[in-house]
């Protein structure tokens, strides 16, 4: 591990916060907000009111707060841990070198404080993978799996994908070495210089002299265990050049491209039997409307109240049962059937549970598409919502942040969509108390924070304004 001192980590977080002032990058703006929340948590630790900022700004405030409020004997406090992990997650999403280094420092600090933190090991693995240090990433992922009984984030598939990708990359390099024996003369590197010589010779039209140097540089990068991104970039460039060489052997070129494509694919989503999602049928807004028209619908909250409801039989009596994100099945209380699974794209809980229809919600199109490619389980759904159903409140309802400032929850997106379509004769919400009774989720998801970016109060007001009847367990909108 690279350090791990808590006060150093907090000081660096404060310094990084200053670097983000005025940033127009959306992800960096979100990171800045999480850093601000971290500052608040640290400044209030162990005191009854926020500590006023002393001379020296945020850095001095962080140092003063930490010195004045030692962590409990068991290690770093839960609030501070959650705040650090939130910062690291946003730093990882940024993807820039400075932010990746900050995320790695946070993961090291968390693991020094709590050596068996599942979230810390998974964070470390994700950061190492982003940095291209796959061997260390696999070790961290494996440690995470040792500490958990529920693989809700698909870590086992991630490890399998990285192993398979490494095998295919080695096969590709062996193929290139066999095709170009002279590459061994240049495999000692330095890779950057050898690659530049190869490109210069190619530009002069001397492919016979260029290719051994290009392949030699690729072999040198692999031998040095260079970051994956660097290896992938040069492999891609080499294959692009090779496809333009007159008289290239089509069979050998096809084999090389196939190996390259497979190692890229399994790095992205792990090895799957059917990369086309098992013949899933994509549906848009109109077809989804037709599939629910005339049917009674119940939406089941992931609330503690549902987990003690004894309403399982009644829930299963509806035509369509809708569940959300990391729902937990207990036939006596929650019912046993799921017809529609509505989930945010960021988590992988229950994506392997067989359902008729799966709607995946997400605010950013590119991130949403990436999650579909990496998380969907072939054969686990018959129908899958297309991009017209990606973000109902914003994209169909046109409720921008000026009208609805909070990020709409998965439940509210689903409920809003059903209310908008208005084709269900019975539309009931079961156990919706907006987390007043706590969460009832699959065990692995129980430690996920109830995030503050959602406006539960506004969502509750929207529901109650439209309610036709209300009991302790049921809110009927139709």
Which tokens in the block code for residue 472? 């302790």
Min mean pLDDT across 44-53, 112-121, 265-274, 343-352 is at 44-53
pLDDT at 307 over 60: yes
Residue 272: name the closest of 156, 383, 194, 188 by CA.
156
Q: What is the pLDDT of residue 203?
A: 95
Q: Cα(first)–Cα(last) distance of the chain, in Å?
A: 57
Residue 266: name the closest of 153, 167, 398, 366 by CA.
167
CA 270 to chain CA centroid, nearest Å = 14
Q: What is the mean pLDDT of residues 100-115?
A: 93
pLDDT at 46 over 70: no
Residue 221: name the closest of 198, 195, 202, 258 by CA.
195
Q: What is the pLDDT of residue 72?
A: 41
Which tokens in the block code for residue 27? 């992800």
pLDDT at 259 over 80: yes
Query: Contact 90/30 with Cβ under 8 angstroms?
Result: yes
What region, left, alpha or beta, does residue 310 occupy, with left being phi > 0 and alpha being psi -120 to 50 degrees?
A: left
Beta-bridged to residue 342, according to DSSP, are 324, 359
Q: What is the pLDDT of residue 45?
A: 63
Q: What is the pLDDT of residue 437?
A: 80
Query: Contact 280/377 with Cβ under 8 angstroms?
Result: no
Which tokens in the block code for residue 33? 């907000």
pLDDT at 56 over 90: no
Q: What is the mean pLDDT of residues 316-320?
A: 97
Residues 239-257: b if buried by 16+ CB within 10 A, e if exposed: bebbeeeeeeeeeeeeebe
For 322-357, the pLDDT digits (tens) are 999 999 999 999 999 999 999 999 888 999 999 999
pLDDT at 74 over 50: no
Beta-bridged to residue 361, according to DSSP, are 344
Asked if omega into 54 is within 30° of 0 (cis), the reply is no
Q: What is the pLDDT of residue 189?
A: 77
What H or E segment, with its residue span, contains residue 427?
strand 427-430
pLDDT at 319 over 90: yes
Nearby residues of 351 by Cβ (< 8 Å), 6 or more positions away:
154, 341, 343, 358, 375, 376, 377, 380
pLDDT at 276 over 70: no
Q: Quick one: what percent of the chain has pLDDT higher than 90?
A: 61
Q: What is the mean pLDDT of residues 432-449?
A: 78
Min mean pLDDT across 273-287, 304-318, 351-365 is at 273-287
| Total residue length of the chain | 478
Helix (H, G, I), strand (E, B) or coil at 470: strand
Q: What is the pLDDT of residue 58?
A: 37
Q: What are phi and psi of 344, to 5 degrees?
A: -75, 150
Q: What are phi and psi of 225, to 5 degrees?
A: 55, 50
Which tops the pLDDT comparison, 210 or 454?
Answer: 210
Q: What is the mean pLDDT of residues 371-397?
A: 90
Beta-bridged to residue 340, according to DSSP, are 322, 357
For 407-428, the pLDDT digits (tens) are 899 999 999 999 999 999 999 9
Kindly calculate the radius of gyration of the chain based on its CA atoms and give it in whole angstroms.
Answer: 26
Q: What is the mean pLDDT of residues 157-173?
A: 92
Query: Contact 321/315 with Cβ under 8 angstroms?
Result: yes
Mean pLDDT of the chain: 86
pLDDT at 398 over 50: yes
Query: Contact 295/316 with Cβ under 8 angstroms?
Result: no
For 125-158, the pLDDT digits (tens) are 999 999 989 999 999 999 999 998 777 777 888 8
Predicted TM-score (pTM) of this structure: 0.64
Greatest mean pLDDT range, 29-43, 61-75, 275-289: 29-43
pLDDT at 303 over 50: yes
Identify the sign of the CA torsion 301, 417, 405, 467. negative
Which tops the pLDDT comparison, 158 or 270?
Answer: 158
pLDDT at 110 over 50: yes
Q: What is the pLDDT of residue 346?
A: 85
Q: What is the pLDDT of residue 379?
A: 87
Instruction: Kindly write down the DSSP assignment for every residue of 277-345, as one continuous string.
Output: GGGPEEE-HHHHHHHHTT--EEEE--BTTGGG---HHHHTTSSEEEEETT---BHHHHBS--SEEEEET
């Amino acid at each position: 591990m690279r350090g791990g001192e808590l006060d150093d980590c907090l000081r660096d977080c404060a310094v990084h916060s200053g670097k983000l002032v005025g940033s127009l990058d959306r992800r960096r703006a979100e990171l800045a907000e999480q850093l601000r929340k971290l500052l608040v948590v640290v400044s209030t630790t162990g005191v009854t009111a926020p500590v006023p900022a002393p001379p020296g700004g945020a850095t001095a405030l962080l140092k003063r707060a930490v010195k004045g409020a030692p962590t409990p004997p068991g290690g770093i406090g839960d609030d501070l841990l959650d705040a650090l992990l939130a910062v690291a997650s946003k730093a990882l999403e940024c993807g820039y070198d400075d932010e990746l280094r900050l995320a790695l420092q946070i993961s090291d600090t968390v693991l020094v404080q709590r050596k068996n933190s599942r979230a810390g090991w998974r964070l470390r693995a994700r950061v190492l993978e982003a940095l291209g240090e796959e061997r260390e990433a696999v070790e961290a992922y494996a440690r995470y799996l040792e500490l958990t009984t529920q693989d809700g984030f698909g870590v086992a598939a991630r490890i399998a994908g990285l192993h398979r990708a490494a095998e295919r990359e080695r096969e590709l390099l062996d193929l290139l070495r066999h095709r170009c024996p002279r590459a061994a003369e240049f495999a000692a590197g330095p890779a950057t210089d050898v690659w530049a010589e190869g490109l210069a010779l190619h530009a002069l039209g001397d492919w016979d002299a260029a290719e051994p140097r290009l392949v030699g540089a690729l072999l040198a990068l692999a031998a040095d265990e260079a970051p994956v991104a660097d290896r992938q970039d040069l492999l891609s460039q080499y294959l692009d050049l090779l496809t333009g060489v007159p008289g290239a052997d089509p069979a050998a070129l096809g084999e090389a491209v196939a190996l390259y494509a497979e190692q890229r694919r399994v790095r992205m989503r792990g090895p799957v039997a059917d990369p086309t999602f098992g013949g899933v049928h994509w549906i848009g807004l109109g077809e989804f409307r037709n599939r629910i028209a005339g049917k009674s619908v119940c939406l089941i909250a992931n609330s503690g109240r549902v987990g003690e409801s004894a309403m399982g039989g009644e829930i299963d009596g509806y035509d369509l049962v809708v569940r959300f994100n990391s729902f937990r099945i207990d036939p006596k209380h929650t019912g046993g059937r799921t017809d529609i699974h509505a989930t945010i794209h960021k988590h992988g809980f229950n994506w392997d549970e067989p359902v008729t229809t799966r709607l995946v919600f997400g605010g950013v199109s590119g991130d949403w598409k990436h999650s579909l490619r990496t998380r969907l389980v072939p054969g686990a759904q018959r129908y899958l919502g297309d991009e017209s159903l990606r973000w109902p409140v914003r994209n169909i309802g046109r409720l921008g942040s000026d009208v609805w400032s909070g990020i709409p929850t998965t439940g509210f997106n689903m409920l809003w969509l059903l209310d908008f379509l208005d084709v269900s004769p019975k539309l009931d919400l079961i156990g919706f108390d907006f987390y007043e009774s706590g969460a009832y989720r699959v065990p692995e998801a129980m430690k996920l924070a109830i995030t503050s970016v959602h406006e539960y109060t506004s969502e509750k007001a929207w529901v109650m304004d439209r309610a036709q009847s209300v009991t302790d367990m049921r809110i009927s909108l139709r």
